[in-house]
Structure 1
Amino acid sequence: MTVKNILFLFLMFMSSVGIGQQAVPKDKVILVIHGGAGTILKSKMTSQKEQAYTDALRASLRAGYDILKSGGKSEAAVEAAIHVMEDSPLFNAGKGAVFTHEGKNELDASIMKGKDGTAGAVAGVTTIKNPITAAIAVMERSAHVMMMGDGAEKFAKEQGITLVDPSYFYTQERWDALQRIRKENSKAVELDHSDKQSVVKPEWKDEKFGTVGCVALDSNGDLSAGTSTGGMTNKKFGRVGDSPVIGAGTYANQQVGISCTGWGEYFIRNVAAYDVAALMKYKSFSVLEASKEVIRKIGEMGGDGGMIVLDKEGNVALPFNTAGMYRGYITESGDVKIEIYKE
């Protein structure tokens, strides 16, 4: 083969991959999940527990994938994937929800469809087995976006959604975490009367990680994003974080879907999920550029956490500023990628 022929073949190859452009992957990502971000260190993880998390994340991915591959809608895939994690005691959502200061489990969830911008959320519920299903019901069967507390539970009952006794959510690990934080309570919160604001110190902030979320892209090119959580250990005063807040913890439009996890107050203040979508729309940022910029801003303010982002082309980003984040994605052909620690 002559040098001229070799050069011609080389140029044809480089043209096909697109020099200087963001190439669309041949096998695009169609579903991405997270199981929470925080101080997740390999040195503190047993091999058995690591395997348990990996198995649960894999099961979640497969549940959502099966919906998508059978022609199901993205919101149904999100629900299926999140159900797996809500039903596991490993995550701070559903069965594994953390305890409030009063020793209760209060759960939040939200979902949004990128196709038409419809959304639904529930907050502060205590008897709904799978809050993500209740959020979908609010979206599809009511004129509202968010319902909370007793009203949300009454609505769920009317819709035939599975309710459980609050004792269902009890796990020893979460209960022990509450007792530990109660003992350190005097170090956690102090009142600054000079400006009438409550100052929350960071010693206990990692007792919230485990929030779960999913973004899915279906065969019609429609995106949906959902998030579910048990909130923050030892939370008081009816506190609600970012997970049920559309635009803060969850957002989807026709271009991109986002689900967040972390210190909710900072994600609310930054309107984090929407900010990613705005950077992509108005500044033409990629999913990676936009999500990294938002996590950077949250970190500068003193917050921590992460997010999963999936766009309509199947490009994915999973940035976080903590020691780890339970995360994974599955491609159109079924290839699975699962990670836990900061690489």
Structure 2
Amino acid sequence: MRVRPMTWLLSALATAAAVTATALAVPQGGDRSPDDRTAPAARDARAAGKAKPDAHDVVLAVHGGAGTALDRDKTSPEREKAYRDGLTRALRAGQKVLDKGGSSLDAVQAAVVELEDDPLFNAGKGAVFTADAGHELDASIMRGSDLKAGAVAGVKSLRNPIAGARAVMDKSQHVLLAGEGADDFGARQGLKTVTQDYYWTQARWDALMAAKAAEKGDKKAARSSAALADAQSKGTVGAVAVDRRRDLAAATSTGGMTNKLPGRVGDSPLIGSGTYAKNGTVAASATGTGEVFIRGAATSTISNLVEFKGADVAKAAYEVVVKRLPALGGDGGVIALAPNGDFDAPHSSPGMLHGYLTKGGQVVTKIFPDETPPNS
């Protein structure tokens, strides 16, 4: 389906003019267990800069971005529940695949689709706006058993970009398709397509208005708009998994950066930067300042440290995310999973929304900074 950006833009502008500042609607539902809500975590050894796994026996993990951290004191119980439910739904979707003996690749795709369909996160439905008030989405997926991968960049009409990435992997000889060619390829494969107004949300529009005001030096307007904007405007999503065959897989999807230049591509669709999976080393998905993760070849470097330096996953991820990348001028985090189920989620940003599922079926979600203190 070919998009006509001006048609949806006029509609979006009319909607924005008619709608006063409103909070993002809270998603309903989500199958939750008593384990889904976590108590504030103690500031353990990791907060002091020691790289140790967050958890063991993990089979699936997801993240919802390492942008501006959610403030426990300013987050309503309803909003907290919405974020935890969103992460939990993604984990449960992947769990259904794994419990049936499905592949880690299918599990990470199922998890990411759930996050793309949730407007709380900056991917799919909740994608942020570009500088020209459009939407350009990126995604990638990788299988650790044979290093097969697929990705799309700058797509404008695929409802689920991760499905486009999977199609590139399975049904083409390429790894990355971009722009109109990626959209057309996805449509030919029978993937669901949408018009640009599908991605529109009030919170993302407010974030764009705040960015525009800041560009003009209007601090008052910027603060006013920013107060209404979604705190997770950097909320790139991703998933990592290991299946019964000990095969690893990883996937990442994003709407990019608010007010980014049209055509900008970050780390999320780039294999070795935003996404990487290799049997015997690690499955990793990144979130944060994309340009820095590209320059630091973040996720493949984690794998290389495990393979060639003999580091465990926690130490390798910490080395890259906390020690190396900040020196390049940006912050962020990764979820990293070893074949034996050791899991770590280091980040240099104030917080990182993420959750994981253990082999025994326990779901843990972490959304506040005191649950995931930065490794500094």
Pairwise TM-score range, normalised by the shorter structure: 0.7 to 0.9
Aligned to 1:38: 67
- Counterpart of 1:211 (choices 230, 236, 246) is 236
| Cα distance in 2 for residues equivalent to 1:44 and 1:103 | 29
Q: Which amino acid aligns with 1:261?
A: T
Mapped contact 1:207–1:232 kept (Cα < 8 A): no
Q: Please state whether the residue corresponding to 2:66 is helix, strand or coil.
A: strand
| Cα distance in 2 for residues equivalent to 1:287 and 1:337 | 20
Query: How do 1:98-109 residues align onto structure 2 when only pairs under 5 Å count?
Result: 98-109=128-139
| Cα distance in 1 for residues equivalent to 2:359 and 2:326 | 33
- Counterpart of 1:88 (choices 84, 94, 118) is 118
- Counterpart of 2:292 (choices 262, 266, 284) is 266
Paired residues in the alignment total 306
| Cα distance in 1 for residues equivalent to 2:125 and 2:131 | 18
**1:8-35: CA deviation from partner (whole Å, max 9, x where unpaired):** xxxxxxxxxxxxxxx9999711001100
Q: Please state whether the residue corresponding to 1:140 is helix, strand or coil.
A: helix
Extract structure 1 runs of 4+ deviating beyond 3 A: 23-27
Quote the offset at 1:43 in angstroms.
3.0
- Counterpart of 2:319 (choices 270, 293, 306) is 293
**1:223-249: CA deviation from partner (whole Å, max 9, x where unpaired):** 100000000000014111000000000
| Cα distance in 2 for residues equivalent to 1:291 and 1:329 | 17
Q: Please state whether the residue corresponding to 1:184 is helix, strand or coil.
A: helix
- Counterpart of 2:309 (choices 283, 287, 296) is 283
1:340 aligns with 2:367: yes
Aligned to 2:13: none
Mapped contact 2:104–2:241 kept (Cα < 8 A): yes
Q: 1:44 to 1:32 in 2, by over 3 A?
A: same
Aligned to 1:252: 277
Quote the offset at 1:341 in angstroms.
2.1
| Cα distance in 1 for residues equivalent to 2:145 and 2:198 | 35
| Cα distance in 2 for residues equivalent to 1:338 and 1:76 | 21
1:230 aligns with 2:255: yes
Quote the offset at 1:207 in angstroms.
7.1
Larger Rg: 1
- Identity of paired residues, percent? 48
Aligned to 2:105: 75
| Cα distance in 2 for residues equivalent to 1:304 and 1:281 | 25
- Counterpart of 1:172 (choices 174, 180, 202) is 202
1:135 aligns with 2:165: yes
Q: Please state whether the residue corresponding to 1:293 is helix, strand or coil.
A: helix
Quote the offset at 1:44 in angstroms.
3.2
Mapped contact 2:53–2:314 kept (Cα < 8 A): no
Mapped contact 2:55–2:344 kept (Cα < 8 A): no
Q: 1:26 to 1:299 in 2, by over 3 A?
A: closer
Q: Which segment drifts farther, 89-98 or 324-333?
A: 324-333
Mapped contact 2:54–2:343 kept (Cα < 8 A): no
**1:263-316: CA deviation from partner (whole Å, max 9, x where unpaired):** 000000000000100111111111110011101211122211100000111110
Aligned to 1:309: 336
| Cα distance in 2 for residues equivalent to 1:300 and 1:46 | 35
Mapped contact 2:102–2:243 kept (Cα < 8 A): yes
Q: Please state whether the residue corresponding to 2:78 is helix, strand or coil.
A: helix
Q: 1:26 to 1:101 in 2, by over 3 A?
A: closer
Mapped contact 1:323–1:341 kept (Cα < 8 A): no
Q: Please state whether the residue corresponding to 1:38 is helix, strand or coil.
A: coil
Q: Which amino acid aligns with 2:286?
A: C
Q: Please state whether the residue corresponding to 1:324 is helix, strand or coil.
A: coil
Quote the offset at 1:76 in angstroms.
0.6
Quote the offset at 1:39 in angstroms.
2.0
| Cα distance in 2 for residues equivalent to 1:124 and 1:74 | 26
Aligned to 1:193: none
Mapped contact 1:207–1:233 kept (Cα < 8 A): no
Q: 1:26 to 1:158 in 2, by over 3 A?
A: closer
Q: Please state whether the residue corresponding to 1:44 is helix, strand or coil.
A: coil
| Cα distance in 1 for residues equivalent to 2:204 and 2:138 | 17
Alignment RMSD = 2.1
Q: Please state whether the residue corresponding to 1:241 is helix, strand or coil.
A: coil
